[in-house]
Amino acid sequence: MEKTGAQILIESLLKEKVEVVFGMPGGPALFLFDEMYKSNLNFILARHEQAAVHMADGYARATGKTGVGIFTSGPGATNTVTGLATAYMDSVPLVVITGQVVTTVIGQDGFQEVDTTGITRPITKHNFLVKDVKTLARTIKEAFYIASTGKPGPVLIDFPGDIQRAKCDYVYPDKVEIRSYKPTIEGHIGQIKKAAQIINASKNPVLYIGAGVVISKAEKEVLAISQKAQIPVTHTLLAVGAYPYNDELSLNMLGMHGTFWANKAIQSADVIIAVGARFDDRCTGKVVDFARNADIVHIDIDPASISKIFKTDIPVVGDAKAILKKMETFIEKKERKDWIAKINQWKKENPLRYDENDDKLHPQYVISKLSELTKGEAIVTTEVGQHQMWAAQYYKAKHSRLFLTSGGLGTMGFGFPAAIGAKSVNPDKEVIAIAGDGSFQMNMQEMAVCMANDMPVKVIILNNQFLGMVRQWQMMFYDKHYAHSCLAKRKECPPKCNTPNNGKCPAYLPDFVLWAQSYGAEGIRVKSKKEVELALKKMLASKNSVVLDVWIEKEENVFPMVPAGNALDEMLFRFHG
């Protein structure tokens, strides 16, 4: 039967079982939106395109399914760029559709025309410009296939106005075959055996797991190997929750703000088994000194991730779950009492700590309490900065996909919309955005979406009145020159102020409590440690969206820390000013 391009798109989305679409209409997408008006596609209207892509991203990270967004051309498309880049860096499957000026106008600088496929080429896994309606159905099928398979990522379809209107016979293909795109799933058995041999012969092995483990649902396989051969496990920021936090073999997170014992273990290891992790510089510290004495086994579905940063000794290309399952049969049972004792010693030597016993309002306390009250079962999202690191250190997520954060790109403004995306299909789950006061202001307009769609999201602002991570670096590495990192600063402040605790700071803008109330959400301010627990309980008990504005210590720093350029075991535990 003949259908218009717009009808084909919407029916294809429904055939792909798309539960929810985020986005915003506009000129060259109007015909498509008119078709949406007639359909029962579940569409959530965001207030900014960037936020809408983060919503789709949050949905995808929480569910493991492909997130979808629909936007208009020009500024609508350019506003998606940060969202696409965020998803691209963290391998999140998205299909993003943008309207485009009619094909006869493309290239003539039409109103709201921009070279969308050109702009998004380096930040998408693939993109398409549809110039013939007859290719549309296949393009959509391919887009979903490419986005969700192999190393997942965002795929963009640029959809000109005249193609939305053009008609053709519609058949949605039920399978897809792309001769130039065939991800390797099964690992090479010879490589798997070699890896197992090296692991069996090792004394001090460490498993280093990343987002790939979550994507391929290989948590059980990681656990099985680590328990069988008694291999300690450290995880990246994107794999929080993938390994049981309190297990004896858990090293928790490694890297710049990882634990002392994870970093020590890496540096003392004789074999590192990297699974679905890409040796990001925030994980490795100074690359030449990373795991100095270790052979590297690297399991990854993306061949380009292997030997990108340094030479891998045993690469195994393929799906983590498939490979680990096979590998487990070749792995010998081991005890490794000495190795584990050594790690426990490091744990005792330098545990994660803050001044728990004073009366000050420390952010770590807030996160620890939240973790305790939610039992680590809530979906937590974060923005980017100090609060993100505290959350990663102190929130004990019970399993994967409960801790959603922008790792690779480090996108401020990600967390709140991502929480909305996660909440959109999890009405009964507690979804909490942990934010800094700086990050939150980058996409806080989306509170309207929570209220309008009855999707209560809880927001905890760890408010230090600063771009906190910037301030921390300025304190530690730039002689306390707080150059444009104070968010309370006004015209009348001393220009070079670096004494935010002098009691003379002007009132913070905005008043987050009044701001929340203006949306009909609840606003709660917390200014002392003793109020924290009650406020958190009140927040969790509420059926409404809540903004908890927690006035934490202004100059609290994130520790431990590996300063940029240092080796992983050259860590700082406090600031010696």
Residues interacting with another protein, by CB under 8 A?
Answer: 117-118, 121-122, 125-126, 129, 146, 178-181, 302-304, 306-308, 311
Cα gap 425→446, rounded to integer Å: 17
Residue type at 476 in one-letter notation = M
Q: How far is the CB of 266 from another protein (least distance, A)?
A: 22
Would you say 262 or 274 has its CB closer to another protein? 274
Would you say 189 or 304 has its CB closer to another protein? 304
Q: How far is the CB of 127 from another protein (least distance, A)?
A: 8
Would you say 85 or 457 has its CB closer to another protein? 85
Containing H/E element for 141?
Answer: helix 136-148
By DSSP bridging, strand 271-275 and strand 379-382 are unpaired
Q: How far is the CB of 300 from another protein (least distance, A)?
A: 11
> What is the DSSP code string of 463-512?
E-SB-HHHHHHHHHHSTT--TT-BSS--TTS-TT---TTSS-PPPPSS-H
Would you say 121 or 481 has its CB closer to another protein? 121
Cα gap 474→577, rounded to integer Å: 12
Q: Using alpha carbons, select from 488, 483, 530 the residue that is nearest to residue 509.
A: 488
Q: Using alpha carbons, select from 312, 244, 249, 248 the residue that is nearest to residue 277.
A: 312
Confirm if 379 and 422 have CB atoms less than 8 A apart.
yes
Cα gap 28→102, rounded to integer Å: 8
Cα gap 44→214, rounded to integer Å: 27
Would you say 308 or 481 has its CB closer to another protein? 308
β-sheet bridge partners, residue 298: 274, 315
Q: How far is the CB of 320 from another protein (least distance, A)?
A: 18
Confirm if 549 and 524 have CB atoms less than 8 A apart.
yes
Per residue, what are the HEC states of 295-354?
A: EEEEEECCHHHCCCCCCCCEEEECCHHHHHHHHHHHCCCCCCHHHHHHHHHHHHHCCCCC
Cα gap 468→34, rounded to integer Å: 45
Question: Buried b / exposed e across 538-560, counting CB within 10 Å, b at 16+?
Answer: ebeeeebbbbbbbbbbbbbbbbb
Q: How far is the CB of 408 from another protein (least distance, A)?
A: 15
Q: How far is the CB of 278 from another protein (least distance, A)?
A: 13
Q: How far is the CB of 136 from another protein (least distance, A)?
A: 16
Would you say 128 or 390 has its CB closer to another protein? 128
Counting beta carbons within 10 angstroms of the beta carbon of residue 293, is it exposed (0 to 12), middle (13 to 18) or buried (19 or more)? exposed
Would you say 297 or 475 has its CB closer to another protein? 297
Would you say 306 or 561 has its CB closer to another protein? 306
Would you say 308 or 490 has its CB closer to another protein? 308
β-sheet bridge partners, residue 431: 379
Cα gap 211→404, rounded to integer Å: 11
Q: What is the DSSP letter of 188?
A: P
Cα gap 155→120, rounded to integer Å: 9
Q: What is the DSSP letter of 106?
A: T
Would you say 408 or 438 has its CB closer to another protein? 408
Would you say 151 or 396 has its CB closer to another protein? 151
Q: How far is the CB of 389 from another protein (least distance, A)?
A: 28
Would you say 151 or 401 has its CB closer to another protein? 151
Q: How far is the CB of 308 from another protein (least distance, A)?
A: 6
Q: How far is the CB of 123 from another protein (least distance, A)?
A: 10
Tokens of 65: 């399914």
Q: How far is the CB of 69 from another protein (least distance, A)?
A: 20
Q: How far is the CB of 429 from another protein (least distance, A)?
A: 35
